[in-house]
Amino acid sequence: MARSIADAGRVTLFPLLHTWPDVYGMVAYTTTGHFGDTAVMGYIPVPEVPDVSLLDVAARHLTTNADRAACASWALCTGWSARLVKKVGTLDLADTKWELEIDATTAPKEQVYGHNRLHVGRFSMPDDELMDRARTLLPALAD
């Protein structure tokens, strides 16, 4: 059984193109730990979309040095940027309970946006209405 963590706090949900040219997934970014030193990024399960491996997506975006630390840095930059620069389909929730079924834990070579560690995996919120709302933000799937 996979390890899970749970907490509550600010959650940013955003669509992410994860398989070129037209497969989008919905991703959540939040923090936990002492002063948010651990970032949490997870995919929201959507029936029509394959599960998103965020570290694999990161590796595909890096031209060289696609080690786990570099992938962690890319993912942290993506989550942080989605929170700061809102685009269509982004939802920012001020105080929300959440849970992550952890697929992997890694760390950047050095602190990135205040984060020393990153957990990635399957993200959920106990509020079914919020989960449904998150899924409806996903752009229409290409034919």
**pLDDT values of the chain reduced to their tens digit, one per residue, 143 residues:** 579 999 999 999 999 987 778 888 899 999 998 889 999 999 999 888 888 889 999 988 887 777 899 999 999 999 999 999 988 889 999 999 999 999 999 999 999 999 999 999 999 999 999 999 999 888 765 43
Cα(45)–Cα(43) distance, integer angstroms: 6
- Predicted local distance difference test score (pLDDT) of residue 140: 61
- 133 within domain boundaries: no
- 95 within domain boundaries: yes
- 141 within domain boundaries: no
- 86 within domain boundaries: yes
- Predicted local distance difference test score (pLDDT) of residue 14: 94
- 73 within domain boundaries: yes
- Predicted local distance difference test score (pLDDT) of residue 18: 79
SS3 content of the chain, % helix, strand, coil (to 5): 25, 40, 35
- Predicted local distance difference test score (pLDDT) of residue 114: 93
- 15 within domain boundaries: yes
- Predicted local distance difference test score (pLDDT) of residue 30: 98
Which secondary structure element, helix H or strand E, spans residue 70, and what is its range? helix 68-84
Q: Is 3 exposed, middle or buried (0-12, 13-18, 19+ CB in 10 A)?
A: exposed
- Predicted local distance difference test score (pLDDT) of residue 1: 54
- 21 within domain boundaries: yes
- 94 within domain boundaries: yes
- Predicted local distance difference test score (pLDDT) of residue 24: 87
- Predicted local distance difference test score (pLDDT) of residue 127: 96
Q: Is the dihedral of CA 21, 93, 96, 5 positive or negative?
A: positive
97 Cβ neighbours under 8 A, 6+ residues apart: 6, 7, 8, 125, 126, 127
Range of the domain at 90: 4-124
Number of domains in the chain: 1
